[in-house]
Amino acid sequence: MHHRPLLKLCGNHSEHDVKVALASSAEYIGFVFAKSKRQVCREQLKRWLPNEKNHKKIVALFVNESIENIQYVLESAHVDVIQCHGNETPKYMNDLRKQVKQSLWKVIHHNDHALETMQSYRGIVDGYVVDCKVDRQWGGTGLSFDWNYVPQYVEEGHRQGVKVWIAGGVNPSNIHKLLPYKPDGVDLSSGIEHEGKKSLELVRQLEERMKRNDTR
């Protein structure tokens, strides 16, 4: 019995995006605190999500950020998960773990050594997001890696007792190709945007296609 993977809508950067995300069936909604066209600040998060009981888990994404700056965001914004999207080392993740109470997810950029990289975080992180790194951009590029590798990542995550999310170029028109590889979760950002805004119509399409592939 394989239920649909968990769903995360990331890169929300306006009140409109947040409304679309809150109206969706996604369990997680993500915000980017790193320099990018989708960057937000803690004051915006507080304004858009005044009521923390919205039954969605809030993910804050950072890239090679200092622990002090992460703590600064956490002071006034409700965050459930910290997603580290850069070159953060196992030592850094371990130091962060001692300072915060949130779950920690590490992004692994798909490459020939990615499984070894994952192994080095064993016992330190609570989940992985496997993404496609393009040149000097840390994701949000709409490009995907070869999904034939997904089962290897999922298997390694399960050996560590944690979930593995797949990001990078996932959208409503290709989700049916990813689901047979059984990721624990899927993470979308540009794939559900129309002209830079989250699209309720694309989110509905995505949900419909995920449901259709639900082999109960």
The single residue listed with the structure tokens 């995907």 is: 144
**CATH, domain range 6-212:** 3.20.20.70
From the list 183, 193, 186, the residue with the least C-alpha distance to 28 is: 186
Amino acid 152 reads Q
Contacts of 170-174 with C-beta under 8 Å, sequence gap 24+, read 170/144, 171/142, 171/202, 171/206, 172/202, 172/205, 172/206, 172/209, 174/144
Mean pLDDT, 10 residues at a time, the chain of 216 residues: 84 96 96 95 92 83 97 93 96 98 96 95 98 64 83 98 96 95 96 96 96 67
Q: What pLDDT is recorded for position 1?
A: 41
Q: What pLDDT is recorded for position 145?
A: 86
Q: What is the pLDDT of residues 34-92, one digit of tens each?
A: 999 999 999 999 999 977 666 899 999 999 999 999 999 999 889 999 999 999 999 99
Note the pTM of the prediction, 2 decimals: 0.93
Question: Quick one: how far is CA 158 from the chain centroid?
Answer: 18
Domain edges within the chain: 6-212
Q: What pLDDT is recorded for position 142?
A: 62
Sign of CA dihedral 214, 187, 80, 86: positive
